[in-house]
Structure 1
Amino acid sequence: MRRIGRRDIVATILIALLAGAVFTSPPLQTLQGLSLDILTAMRGKLVGDRRDPATSPVVVVAIDGETYDTPPFKGSPTQTWTREIGRVLGSITEGGAKVIGFDVIFKNSIEQSEIPFGDTSFGSRIRGFDRDYLIALRQLSDSGKLVLGEILSNDHPEVPYRAQQVAVRNTVRALNVHTDHDDVIRRMPLSFAIEGRPIPAMAVELAARALGGKPEIAPSGATELSGYAIPSAIPNTMTLNFRGLGRDVPTFSFADLRACVEKGDRDFFHRAFEGKVVLLGTVLNFEDRKLTSMRLSRGNDGSPAPRCALPAPAGTVQKARSDIAGVFVHATAVRNLIERDAVTELGFPARNILTIVFALVIACAACMLAPSGALIAWLGLTAVYAAVALGAFVHALALPLTEPALASLAALAMMIGYRFVLADRDERFLRRSFAFYLAPEVINTMVTSGKMPALGGEMRNVTMFFSDLSGFSSIAETMTPGELVTMMNEYLSAMTDIIEGHGGYVDKYIGDSIVAMFGAPADDPAHARNAVRAALKCHEKLADLNANNAVFAGHGLSHRIGLNSGEAVVGNIGSRRRFNYTVMSDTVNVASRLEGANKYYGTAIMASEATVAQTADAFAWRELDAIRVLGRGEAIKVFEPLAEKGAESGEQTKVTAAYAEGLTCWRAREFAKAADTFDGVAKVDPPSSMFAKRARALVANPPPPEWTPVNTLEGK
């Protein structure tokens, strides 16, 4: 996870604001409708709402394909169906229907036909054909149980012919729907201004009559019906809630109902229509089909209702479709109003804020995480938000879905672009600069730590690591150049992997020597401990190579390692045209001298007291001596790491105790006793053997009184 600065914060906020503003802007308003479509599909597929059609307050009487194929309607113009329609409507009313609405418009009457028929027109010959139908309309209208439909239009209005309007005393309401820019119906108008006054739409009129109330305008500006404030995201509209995907609206075939009238089964009409709002409309495969919020989930033209007289047509299996018959749009609107179940959408300010906040969260993730991690975060958060939105939609609250998802995805892309072009330039520079001589994990630590080395150098507390192969020149003389290169590549690769695996940085290779540092360029508070662990692992690895790698067979390679901790200057040092990232200080020189000092004591690893002090109690140590290295006047105590604390062997413990006792006698000028103590372990411990010889020499030739127990090394 990368660190973010003030510039990143400003960029994140601006990107979120831009993405949110773009995806909630009017040109992309169709995204709001798409959210409704997706939520409707998700609810239908994942949650479902299989309500019993028998509980629906609305039913549909369908002039369907069966009607067109059934006598007496088969082959007859629809204008001749009016008297049969009147009879069926009368039976529906007697069955206890609350109100009947027409979603079909008879724009003319067969009585109006002027086609010549003999010495007069055909219409004159059948004058009075619609009388029974008009009487039925008048009776139903007088009882307040009938509303005819019309289509309002400045160019081509569609209205019932004049005799029907008179019969119902102008109880005609608009069937117009609200169509979005993508030609999808998601909302229903509540009223229309006619002659300067608002007239309820068909669905509102039917619901009002069923509830026994009138639509009113509340002080808030919302339309209220029987105490229900109809939610309106777009003024004077209601967002439709297709909760049952059309399957929850019982649908009766007009042909079957006409046969039921002939049969005289009044009980069937009571069972089917008592207390219901009835909509009469056409349900055909290629007429009056509407795209709605169910276009993705695929809706149904109602649910087949119980039949009365005719058997169901063979092979008529209802299939879900992307479009539905227009009458079910009005049926859904009526049911939403009666059940107070219209969808509540957030207004523009709330949608905009929610979209910006979501985009801001993803932009922050993209700012802090790698692109792949940010993409996973986007997928995860979008899935969680979609689940929340779905849960809200189950309760008829529509949260924006596509706008936050797309805006956040755009914010993700923009933030990645911003990081690539601006924010991560320095990081990419550092990665390219160190790629060939620094381990990837060290580069990552350096970048994420936020503590980059300053160009030209800076003071850092580090631990230096020097190693060198013992007697390498004589070994090299016995090998061909190819064999030598192969062995050195194996050795240096193995050692480098261990050093870098412990957070170290290999500064340079000098022949068979390795110069490395811990604590830079990546900041590492445990650099001393990591350096000692690396030295122990390198020593173990060389023993493994000698034993198991054919390239090393017969050579018996051994190496010496020197460790020292302290302040050093690290940075890019060199000429203006060529420089190296390296380190300079007395800390470096001492580590180099300690590497060479191993040969005097027969040890493999030697560390300064400064390194020991910074490792706390992580390792088991033994103090070797106090020495004065070449080029340095001050004496330093040197130590040998034996193993991780608690992991030392019994023999190491025994040797360490004897060595410590002999060193104490040595420093107390008890040279004979020191020689005897060292001799006890000299055969298994080279440092003890070396000290035994020195002690015996001083027994033979005692030092002057000003003698100090410091070993001054003459060579490197």
Structure 2
Amino acid sequence: MGDAARFYRLGFVQFIDAKLYDYRLLLTLPKKADDRIVILDIDEKSLKEEGRWPWGRNKMAVMMDELFDHYGVAVVGFDVVFAEKDNSSGLNVLQDLGRSQFKGVAQFQSVLAQIKPHLEYDKLFAEKIKNRNVVLGYYFSNSERGHDKSRSGVLPEPVFPAGTFKGRPISFMQWDSYGANLPELQSSAALAGHFNPVVDFDGVVRRIPMIVEYDGAYYESLSLAVVRAALGMPKLLPGYAAGKDKNYGGLEWLTLQSAQGDLRIPVDAEVSALVPYRGARGTFRYISATDVLHERIPKADLQNRIVLVGTSAPGLMDMRSTPVGEVYPGVEVHANMISGMLDQDLKQNPPYVLGANVLMLLLVGVILALLLPLLSPVYGTLLSAGLLAFEVLVNGYLWEYGNIALPLAGGLIMVFALFALNMTYGYFTTERTKRQITSLFGQYVPSEVVDEMSKNPEQVSMEGESREMTILFTDVRGFTTISEGLEPRELSQLMNEFLTPLSRVVYSHRGTIDKYMGDCIMAFWGAPLPDVRHAYHAVLAGLEMQRKLLDLQPSFRERGWPEIRIGVGINTGRVSVGNMGSEVRVAYTVMGDAVNLASRLEGITKQYGAGVVVGEVTKEATPEFVFRELDLVRVKGKDKPVAIFEPLGLSGEVEPAVLEEIRLFQQMLRLYRKQEWDKAELQLFNLSRLSPQTKLYEVYSERVAYYRNNPPGENWDGVFVFKTK
């Protein structure tokens, strides 16, 4: 961990990567102890019974006998350093007296010679650790600028002599000072290792440097030394990365060659290993040191165990911040490290992980950069979420099954950043498009349609094109007479009062208002956005216009205004739609025969006393409605006759009596077109009794009377010809 952060040189990436590493670690903790390792704790209980730390080396000597002779432990590792001589026996005082006041007293000198071996506590402790599997601990440090380098005690023999890694690209951690053990103790110990952790930028211990460099030579960690002692001092071999020149590859692992089998320890670019924490503080068993000194613990609890001597007493300040706890004993960090090495359960973070991470970032980045601009927001979000999931799954798979700690933050941040950039760009582009569309269509179509258009601008075109659409015309009947009876201001108010609600009806049914022509409204459906149900929406709008106008009549009467009645003509057909006009002025409008017919249909509504008249194509396109056939007509300017219909409501909403009346009228039409005038007249008489106010029946009664006296001839096709618009 940390390689990608060094590559990016971004602190927040390093911070997020560290936290993501911690979360992955916490989610996969085994949360169980390793019975092979026991921590001999210099805890508060031990300090209370045995006195303050440091204890006399004579007591440490007794502890060695207890551990090895009584309990039969396998290895003892010290997470403490014995850097100063132990003068607590008083031997120095006695020797000073022997050289001064009791210089000539033979009896004093004799007794002093007899008890001296028992009072040389350091020598006594050294003898007790000699030829036993004891690993001492020590530490490295760096001197402050302007101060002399501090050195105490003696270092052990390095595991690799100076010059071993000369010329290789290996970033060993280096120090210029140390605090080590007394020479007689170091010479008696089986091994010694440093207990320096790697403290990351946030103060958390996640790694232990397996090998460090001091003065050109290379020294092992305490945990590595303890494992070597437990395995019978196996040879330590470096493992190099494969390259063009095998003599100059980086260090990727360390190998312990033992009779029980080789152990491989993966290391990162700084020759550090990730600590395989097993759980929170106390996962490993702690035994109070004073209980061992007084043999209060069963032998089986320590026999053949690896014992680490350390402290959890707060006053001794050996606490670390770790991913599994902010206050965590340093000795338990080493216990986790030893357990991981023995189980071969160390997460790998080799130098090549940086290259793999960069390749992953490039792959994901190229995919997003190429595809996001081409996708809609929904699919862009799905792609980004998919790539995030892919990164997390690959990372989790490598973590769980490959024991590789691949950095995760860089990839996640890149996906989020590219997604946010694309969405931001898309937002501003959409807003610009929406503003453009609103400026073009805001006066023609409702705001919700403008929103749809801005979301799918590719569906909107200002260029002229041919489409099947439905066109609607409305006109006020007798408007000239109405306008003559009102003052100009009142007339303006009247027009606003009825044009506004009628326009809202068009909008509410997704229609586009083409223009106002005095008292007339022209609207269409099917553009600028396609609408597969354009005819349905137009007929709904025509019927609602009539209902809306009826609702307005009472308020008009209260204000002294005349009653307003309108005719609505609707027709469906293929027309040209787009920007049309001249270099001086253009407008988004529709043109074609279907438009002209819609206008003619509106004009003849008053001839039949119908509120809404639609063409045959519109009727066929809207089976949801109940229609009454009105006539077969030839309008002015058209040679081909067209059937016209009056919509009376949605199927299921029209009363049975009205449906019966429609059936009877249809029978009358058949009789009329067969020139059976008497029968047709009788049917009209019956219909007029059912609905005396229906002008349609009057129209046909007059025609029947005319044709009876003026027969149209045998070749008559039943078409009525309108001579005017």
TM-score by length of 1: 0.77
Aligned counterparts, 1:219-298, within 5 A:
222-224=253-255, 226=261, 229-232=264-267, 234=269, 236-254=271-289, 256-257=290-291, 261=293, 264-265=294-295, 268=297, 270-283=299-312, 284=314, 287-294=317-324
Deviation at 1:67, TM superposition (A): 5.4
Deviation at 1:558, TM superposition (A): 3.5
Correspondence for 2:686: 680
Aligned counterparts, 1:498-513, within 5 A:
498-513=505-520
Asked if 1:204 corresponds to 2:224, the answer is yes
Asked if 1:697 corresponds to 2:673, the answer is no
Q: Which amino acid aligns with 1:28?
A: L
SS in 2 for 1:412: helix
Asked if 1:329 corresponds to 2:336, the answer is no
Correspondence for 1:95: 71
Are residues 603 and 25 of structure 1, via their aligned partners in 2, closer, same or farther at CA, if it must alter by over 3 Å?
A: farther
Q: Which is greater in Rg?
A: 2
Correspondence for 1:156: 177
Q: Deviations over 1:306-361 (max 9, x none)?
A: xxxxxxxxxxxxxxxx3534323222212222344433569335544555677788
**Percent identity over the alignment?**
25
Asked if 1:655 corresponds to 2:661, the answer is yes
C-alpha separation between the residues in 2 aligned to 1:174 and 1:236? 14
| Contact 1:135 1:167 (C-alpha < 8 Å) held by counterparts | no
Correspondence for 1:173: 193
| Contact 1:453 1:571 (C-alpha < 8 Å) held by counterparts | no
| Contact 2:79 2:136 (C-alpha < 8 Å) held by counterparts | no
SS in 1 for 2:67: helix
Deviates more, 1:584-593 or 1:227-236: 227-236
Are residues 103 and 116 of structure 1, via their aligned partners in 2, closer, same or farther at CA, if it must alter by over 3 Å?
A: closer
C-alpha separation between the residues in 1 aligned to 2:522 and 2:600? 12
Asked if 1:469 corresponds to 2:476, the answer is yes
| Contact 2:557 2:563 (C-alpha < 8 Å) held by counterparts | no
C-alpha separation between the residues in 2 aligned to 1:49 and 1:27? 33
**Which of the residues 9, 31, 37 maps onto 1:58?**
37
Q: Deviations over 1:386-422 (max 9, x none)?
A: 7997898688765644334322321232112332455
Q: Which amino acid aligns with 2:38?
A: V
| Contact 2:471 2:522 (C-alpha < 8 Å) held by counterparts | yes
| Contact 1:502 1:530 (C-alpha < 8 Å) held by counterparts | yes
Are residues 645 and 196 of structure 1, via their aligned partners in 2, closer, same or farther at CA, if it must alter by over 3 Å?
A: same
Correspondence for 1:31: 13
Aligned counterparts, 1:338-357, within 5 A:
338-344=342-348, 347-352=353-358
Deviation at 1:597, TM superposition (A): 1.1
| Contact 2:39 2:285 (C-alpha < 8 Å) held by counterparts | yes
SS in 2 for 1:163: helix
Aligned residues, how many? 653
| Contact 1:623 1:660 (C-alpha < 8 Å) held by counterparts | yes
Q: Deviations over 1:118-170 (max 9, x none)?
A: 9969999998677455444454452324344343754212221211111125x
| Contact 2:61 2:125 (C-alpha < 8 Å) held by counterparts | yes
Deviation at 1:714, TM superposition (A): 3.3
SS in 2 for 1:572: strand
Asked if 1:414 corresponds to 2:421, the answer is yes
Correspondence for 2:671: 665
Correspondence for 1:142: 131
Deviation at 1:273, TM superposition (A): 2.6
Deviation at 1:520, TM superposition (A): 0.4
C-alpha separation between the residues in 2 aligned to 1:84 and 1:453? 91
Asked if 1:561 corresponds to 2:568, the answer is yes
C-alpha separation between the residues in 2 aligned to 1:194 and 1:682? 117
SS in 2 for 1:151: strand
SS in 2 for 1:244: coil
SS in 1 for 2:626: strand
Aligned counterparts, 1:2-151, within 5 A:
25-28=7-10, 31=13, 34-38=16-20, 40-41=22-23, 44=26, 50-51=31-32, 55-64=34-43, 70=48, 73-74=51-52, 78=54, 81-93=56-68, 94-110=70-86, 131-151=120-140
Q: Deviations over 1:538-587 (max 9, x none)?
A: 33444455579997999654332111122222223345565432222232
Are residues 483 and 97 of structure 1, via their aligned partners in 2, closer, same or farther at CA, if it must alter by over 3 Å?
A: farther
Are residues 639 and 408 of structure 1, via their aligned partners in 2, closer, same or farther at CA, if it must alter by over 3 Å?
A: same
C-alpha separation between the residues in 2 aligned to 1:164 and 1:577? 104
Deviates more, 1:483-492 or 1:138-147: 483-492
Q: Which has the higher contact order (CA 8 A, sep 6+)?
A: 1
| Contact 1:362 1:408 (C-alpha < 8 Å) held by counterparts | yes
C-alpha separation between the residues in 2 aligned to 1:398 and 1:493? 68
TM-score by length of 2: 0.76
Deviates more, 1:485-494 or 1:203-212: 485-494
Are residues 240 and 22 of structure 1, via their aligned partners in 2, closer, same or farther at CA, if it must alter by over 3 Å?
A: closer
| Contact 1:90 1:136 (C-alpha < 8 Å) held by counterparts | no
| Contact 1:451 1:522 (C-alpha < 8 Å) held by counterparts | no
| Contact 1:605 1:641 (C-alpha < 8 Å) held by counterparts | yes
Q: Deviations over 1:400-455 (max 9, x none)?
A: 44334322321232112332455764454223432343223322443455544444
Are residues 482 and 61 of structure 1, via their aligned partners in 2, closer, same or farther at CA, if it must alter by over 3 Å?
A: farther
Are residues 193 and 497 of structure 1, via their aligned partners in 2, closer, same or farther at CA, if it must alter by over 3 Å?
A: same
Asked if 1:712 corresponds to 2:688, the answer is no
Q: Which amino acid aligns with 1:279?
A: L
| Contact 1:562 1:595 (C-alpha < 8 Å) held by counterparts | yes
Are residues 665 and 542 of structure 1, via their aligned partners in 2, closer, same or farther at CA, if it must alter by over 3 Å?
A: same
Deviates more, 1:394-403 or 1:331-340: 394-403
Are residues 132 and 669 of structure 1, via their aligned partners in 2, closer, same or farther at CA, if it must alter by over 3 Å?
A: same
Aligned counterparts, 1:611-650, within 5 A:
611-615=618-622, 617-650=623-656
Q: Which amino acid aligns with 1:700?
A: N
Q: Which amino acid aligns with 2:205?
A: I
Are residues 398 and 570 of structure 1, via their aligned partners in 2, closer, same or farther at CA, if it must alter by over 3 Å?
A: same
Residue segments in structure 1 that go unaligned for 5+ positions in a row = 1-20, 300-321
